[in-house]
Structure 1
Amino acid sequence: MNAMMREAKYHTFAVQLMEHLVVPTFVLDAAGRVIIWNRACERMTGVPASAVLGTRRHWTGFYQQQRRCLADLVLEGASARVAEFYEIDRSLDCQTGALSAENWCVFPTGRGRRYLAIDAGPIYADDGTLIAVVETLRDITAQKEAQSALELLASLDGLTGIANRRAFDVRFESEWELAARSGQPLSLLMIDIDHFKIYNDHLGHQCGDDCLKRIAQIIVGETRGDVDIVARYGGEEFAVVLPHAGLDGALSVAHRILEATDRAAIPHHEASSQDRVTISIGAASRNSEMTSPADLIAAADASLYAAKQRGRNLIVAQRSVAA
């Protein structure tokens, strides 16, 4: 009897301890029903314990539509499915049955959008029987947003604010692979400011920087902001990746950029043939003869070189010229 009383006492203490943990925590029994929904979990989700205790509706604290929480995947022994439901799987040793993940969560109760670090682990009886699963949650939104801000800064050109060469390489590779799988067209524009060295040497680096920023703004303004990728490729050269666009579409964009640059009328008194800043554009589209992203870049580069050789302020599309 004393042993039973001690066991009951320890059980009560364990439940009370978990209830008062500062870490949001809930516990499911072996059937997936909520047996503990602590006060920190109530504060985080806005869902009172009375609304979920004894039910399998723990998901309502975190999601608009029914879906598995990490604790459910532990109960099901479904460690292989973590990536199906969570942005990042941080599970280190699935042999123990414990899982760890990270995910954005929009609380249905209006508590906003938060990024959570989540851990879930099994509790076994002395005979090895699974009796419960504990899930704990940490709000790491501030850390995630800081990380995202740093990643964004690392991908942008410090002068113009558009994508830098590193970001271009990564995203262009991704678009190439997508186009190769889907059979969708993919085009590339290479754009160079004509006589930029003369401009920079005569007017100074500050004016040169201003010119680069103006041209970057013009290119961005004539492209699809939510689809196309505009990058500073190097020096006074820019690149525009045009997913789902064939050569005709690429030429249409190139003409708009050329015309917008002409309308901007950026003075260039030292140019050999124009009194304003002009650009040359090389255009190319992916075709069956190309086997890698480098092939498309080489084709667009060759077109750009041809535009320079033919007098500048031109668009050259592979083997054809458009004024």
Structure 2
Amino acid sequence: MPTSRNTESAHVFAVRLMQHLVVPTFVLNAERRVIIWNKACERLTGVPAHEVIGTTNHWRAFYDQERHCLADLVVLGCPDTMDQLYVTHTEPSDCAHGLRAENWCVMPQVKKRLYLAVDAGPIYDEEGNLLAVVETLRDQTEQKLAQMALQSLAVKDGLTGLANRRSFDEKLEAEWLHNQREGTSMAILLVDVDHFKLYNDTYGHQKGDTCLKAVAAALDQQVFRPADLAARYGGEEFAVIMPNTDLDGALHVADRIQEAVQAMNLPHGASLTAECVTLSIGAAALLPSDDHAAADLVAAADAALYRAKRQGRNRVVCTDRVEELAEA
């Protein structure tokens, strides 16, 4: 049988061991008060132990507004609220085995935003009463930023920062099906920088890239509904997907885009149309149905764009009927 002195010695050893762990760790008692705040936790958060020991203010080390940390959820027995508090988390099927989650934290004292992976595990006595909850923290910021960068490369155009062609194709199919179910119109703009080959030949490819980035920025500023998508379609051509939009709505956006690019007044001395960079835009809108596919909407916008170029460029031409493809 262990003596009380042995038990006390073991407790002191455990506390000292936890204090010197390289993993940032803090411990809450059954009243959610901090009883251990180890040195690694001090380094991570910039909060010294004496400021939090005995208090329930540990949240101040991670957030600028009061909210529960993962260990609090274990003490309170409410793991179901993790959805509201954490970006990623394990299913709270059995709180007795602890919780795991990941989240961005603002870290007010060190004044930098960190992505932390968090584990919180309960400690019970022999009768099953909760004694404490141990929360450990791992800084995963570099890994998260690398993951976000890879994800961004997969969906964004490297030059302009707009969505890439793959994102456009996926969005087009998804919104076509959604608008078909809802019975609402869907619109597309195809946008071409007029005489862009001549621009490159005159000013060089680096200036050409700068021009494309400027046009993309103007496009992005004018396509601001959350459901819409502006993408680089290929080369000097851009595209805009507008769910739940009729032709009048599409033309309104097209006019805004043209005005924004004209307002930049980018010189284009070699242009056969104007002395500055201009756009030709083809607009189309359709009510998705079983009679047509999403590709028909793109083809209609492409036909309208072709007519805009044939009619002298620097203009918006529209169609809302797939049958008009035959005219192109």
Shift of the 39–183 alpha-carbon distance from structure 1 to 2, 3 Å rule, reads farther
Q: Which residue of 287, 296, 299 maps to 2:297?
A: 299
Q: Which residue in 1 is equivalent to 2:218? A: 221
Shift of the 17–277 alpha-carbon distance from structure 1 to 2, 3 Å rule, reads closer
Partner SS state of residue 214, structure 2: helix
Alpha carbons 2:63, 2:108 under 8 Å: kept: yes
Cα distance in structure 1, aligned partners of 2:71 and 2:150: 32
TM-score (normalizing by structure 1): 0.75
Q: RMSD of aligned C-alpha atoms?
A: 4.3
Q: Which residue in 2 is equivalent to 1:117? A: 117
Alpha carbons 1:46, 1:111 under 8 Å: kept: no
> 1:183 Cα shift?
11
Cα distance in structure 2, aligned partners of 1:52 and 1:277: 61
Cα distance in structure 2, aligned partners of 1:275 and 1:57: 64
Shift of the 39–170 alpha-carbon distance from structure 1 to 2, 3 Å rule, reads farther
Partner SS state of residue 224, structure 1: helix
Alpha carbons 1:99, 1:121 under 8 Å: kept: yes
Alpha carbons 2:284, 2:304 under 8 Å: kept: no
Q: Which residue of 300, 306, 309 maps to 1:308?
A: 306
> 1:87 Cα shift?
1.2
Partner SS state of residue 150, structure 1: helix
> 1:188 Cα shift?
3.1
TM-score (normalizing by structure 2): 0.74
Q: Which residue in 2 is equivalent to 1:107? A: 107
> 1:12 Cα shift?
0.8
> 1:302 Cα shift?
0.6
Residue range with higher mean Cα deviation, 156-165 or 235-244: 235-244
> 1:236 Cα shift?
4.9
Alpha carbons 2:119, 2:135 under 8 Å: kept: yes
Percent of matched pairs sharing the same residue: 45
Number of residue pairs matched? Answer: 313
Partner SS state of residue 32, structure 1: coil
Q: Does 1:20 align with 2:20?
A: yes
Shift of the 150–45 alpha-carbon distance from structure 1 to 2, 3 Å rule, reads same
Cα distance in structure 2, aligned partners of 1:177 and 1:39: 55
Q: Which residue in 2 is equivalent to 1:43? A: 43
CA deviation map 1:130-182 (0-9, x unaligned): 22111011112122222222222232324544321123345667878999999
Shift of the 213–143 alpha-carbon distance from structure 1 to 2, 3 Å rule, reads same
Q: Which residue in 1 is equivalent to 2:29? A: 29
Cα distance in structure 2, aligned partners of 1:250 and 1:181: 21
Residue range with higher mean Cα deviation, 109-118 or 298-307: 298-307
Q: Kindly report which structure 2 residues correspond to 1:1-323, keeping only aligned pairs within 5 A, or say none.
A: 3-90=3-90, 94=94, 96-169=96-169, 187-192=187-192, 214-215=211-212, 217-224=214-221, 227=224, 229-241=229-241, 247-258=247-258, 260=261, 264=266, 266=268, 279-284=279-284, 289-290=287-288, 298-309=296-307, 311-312=310-311, 313=313, 314-319=315-320
Alpha carbons 2:185, 2:288 under 8 Å: kept: no
> 1:41 Cα shift?
1.5
> 1:249 Cα shift?
4.9
Cα distance in structure 1, aligned partners of 2:148 and 2:127: 46
Cα distance in structure 1, aligned partners of 2:258 and 2:172: 23
CA deviation map 1:270-296 (0-9, x unaligned): x9x9999875422245x7x4369x966
Alpha carbons 1:185, 1:245 under 8 Å: kept: yes
Alpha carbons 1:304, 1:316 under 8 Å: kept: no
Partner SS state of residue 163, structure 1: coil
Residue range with higher mean Cα deviation, 307-316 or 36-45: 307-316
Cα distance in structure 2, aligned partners of 1:98 and 1:12: 24
Residue range with higher mean Cα deviation, 176-185 or 276-285: 176-185
Partner SS state of residue 134, structure 1: strand
Shift of the 258–98 alpha-carbon distance from structure 1 to 2, 3 Å rule, reads same
